[in-house]
A = this chain, B = another copy of it.
């Protein structure tokens, strides 16, 4: 049994980690920490967990967490970079679902996140946890930087095109739409029901923190500078990301579907849709599946890729558990075979 702990467990990502880990056959959930809810029973904060999880939230305390084999950080950025080092020294593996270890460049990180990075030395040690791409490195990792929700969808969608050198990488566009849980559980005006239901808009069109993460991920593949425009939108649903990707083809004579199908044929959590069909976010709701469709409209010069995932599962907690499975030598799908809840 892998003994697991969660820091920041009172947010939506933490809640999703509790849902997944409490049903994982190879994991014992030992402790869940939350600064704001410490001392309260988990089931008092989340009635959906009544009768099933009897833990209380504890303070995020190194001593308690050091007894775990793995600790997940589901905290806002700035926490894990301070709390991870002593745990790593104590031999605990760390999976950070925040942004703290996702970029290789501490300076770039500071620019986008507005803080000095306190553990720049760990950036090279951290493995970027896009499981399908970095599986071999993850097996050896002690510290995994779990990808952001948008980057997971956008990278999985673009990668086959870039690996094969099929597109002009200076003109990439990612038009992405996220359910509101992506904004987290903190209270704010624009995510109040009356401000966000029955409406839709773009946001952060002049720059979103996930952009440098995507760019870095793409540049690692190509070794070239990548020109990527990323526009996120807020979608009035609880869960789900859809990203429609546009990439100018260098050559019209390609069978995109065949390329995607072959690239992902051995992946349990990536489903390439049949030609002509578009996936919808509900088809992955509550599951760790990512579904991808590809098109070349009017047999023209633009590749169009539509990717869906559940932002809280494949885009956060599910991929984190997938990485844990890889790190501990468990079956990669263990605890992750929930079927989507539909309708």
- Which A residues form the contact surface with B (CB < 8 A)? 12, 15, 19, 22-23, 46-52, 171, 173, 175, 177, 180-181, 185, 187-189, 191-203, 205-207, 227, 229-231, 233, 235-240, 242, 244, 246, 248, 268, 271, 273, 276-287, 289, 291, 293, 295, 297-298, 300-302, 304, 306, 308, 337-343
Shortest 7 CB-CB contacts between residues of A and residues of B: A201-B280, A199-B282, A194-B343, A48-B340, A175-B175, A286-B341, A202-B278
- 29 A-B residue pairings within 8 Å (CB atoms): A23-B339, A47-B283, A48-B282, A49-B339, A50-B283, A173-B173, A173-B302, A175-B175, A177-B200, A177-B233, A180-B193, A192-B192, A193-B196, A195-B343, A197-B343, A198-B198, A198-B238, A199-B285, A202-B293, A205-B293, A205-B297, A206-B276, A206-B295, A207-B298, A227-B301, A236-B237, A238-B343, A246-B246, A285-B341
Q: When the two chains form their complex, are residues A206 and B297 in contact, meaning their CB atoms are under 8 A apart?
A: yes
Complex interface: chain B residues within 8 A of A298 (CB): 206-207
A12 → chain B closest CB, angstroms: 6
A209 → chain B closest CB, angstroms: 13
Complex interface: chain B residues within 8 A of A237 (CB): 197-200, 236
A304 → chain B closest CB, angstroms: 6
Q: When the two chains form their complex, are residues A177 and B180 in contact, meaning their CB atoms are under 8 A apart?
A: no
Q: When the two chains form their complex, are residues A194 and B194 in contact, meaning their CB atoms are under 8 A apart?
A: no
Q: When the two chains form their complex, are residues B207 and A297 in contact, meaning their CB atoms are under 8 A apart?
A: yes
Complex interface: chain B residues within 8 A of A236 (CB): 193, 197, 235-237
Task: Tell me whether A200 and B242 are in contact in the complex, defined as CB-CB below 8 angstroms, given that A236-B193, A339-B52 are known contacts.
Answer: yes
Task: Tell me whether A229 and B302 are in contact in the complex, defined as CB-CB below 8 angstroms, given that A201-B281, A271-B50 are known contacts.
Answer: yes
Task: Tell me whether A295 and B177 are in contact in the complex, defined as CB-CB below 8 angstroms, given that A231-B304, A286-B286, A342-B15 are known contacts.
Answer: no
